[in-house]
């Protein structure tokens, strides 16, 4: 296999928050202009910086991007995605508590959603999460 094969690439770790409100809806945000997949909907989060845990990175990113300070982040699933631009290891965490008001600091849009989601397009690396949420809902 050549060194340029997608699966040879070292993944970048990304912390992602699946925030639930009191009605059981989850938060999706659109990716800001200037980023890859701009305008696609995703769960909020971002890349880990050196020395950070997933929870620390998630707390920092959500303050920076959407203006809230999260409470505990419950590790949920880890999923690797290969994109042309990068290989990412997505660490999805469930979050049910936060302080502060939502403020889209990068000009994104936000949507509290239920299944099936009504926003589009959804980021490819976000789609598996919707399947997992549907599986959990079916198991209730």
Q: Which residues bind ligand 8DG (CB under 6 A)?
A: 14, 16, 35, 42-47, 81, 83, 86, 88, 90, 123, 125-126
Q: Shortest approach of ligand 8DG to residue 67 CB, angstroms?
A: 14
Q: Please give the helix or strand (H or E) that residue 30 lies within, else none.
A: strand 26-30
Closer Cβ to ligand 8DG, 44 or 54, answer by number: 44
Closer Cβ to ligand 8DG, 5 or 85, answer by number: 85
Closer Cβ to ligand 8DG, 86 or 119, answer by number: 86
Q: Shortest approach of ligand 8DG to residue 16 CB, angstroms?
A: 4
Closer Cβ to ligand 8DG, 24 or 34, answer by number: 34
Q: Shortest approach of ligand 8DG to residue 140 CB, angstroms?
A: 23
DSSP H helical ranges for the chain? 54-66, 127-139
Q: What share of the chain is helix, strand, coil (3-state, %, to 5)?
A: 25, 35, 45
Q: Shortest approach of ligand 8DG to residue 81 CB, angstroms?
A: 5
Instruction: Collect contacts of 70-76 with beta carbons under 8 A, ≥24 apart.
Output: 70/17, 70/19, 70/95, 70/97, 70/98, 71/95, 71/96, 71/97, 71/98, 71/99, 72/97, 73/15, 73/17, 76/18, 76/132
Q: Shortest approach of ligand 8DG to residue 132 CB, angstroms?
A: 12
Closer Cβ to ligand 8DG, 55 or 125, answer by number: 125
Q: Nearest residue to ligand 8DG, using CB?
A: 125
What token pair was written down for 4? 């340029």
Q: How far is CA 135 from the centre of its chain?
A: 18
């Amino acid at each position: 296999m050549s060194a340029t094969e997608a699966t040879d690439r070292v993944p970048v770790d990304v912390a992602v928050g699946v925030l639930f409100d009191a009605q059981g809806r989850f938060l999706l945000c659109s990716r800001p202009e200037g980023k890859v997949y701009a305008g696609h909907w995703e769960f909020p989060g971002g890349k880990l910086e050196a020395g950070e845990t997933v929870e620390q990175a998630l707390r920092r990113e959500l303050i920076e991007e959407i203006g809230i300070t999260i409470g505990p982040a419950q590790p949920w699933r880890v999923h690797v995605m290969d994109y042309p631009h990068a290989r990412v290891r997505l660490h999805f965490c469930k979050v049910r508590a936060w302080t502060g008001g939502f403020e889209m600091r990068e000009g994104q849009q936000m949507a509290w959603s239920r299944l099936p989601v009504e926003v589009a397009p959804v980021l490819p690396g976000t789609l598996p999460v919707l399947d997992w949420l549907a599986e959990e809902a079916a198991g209730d």
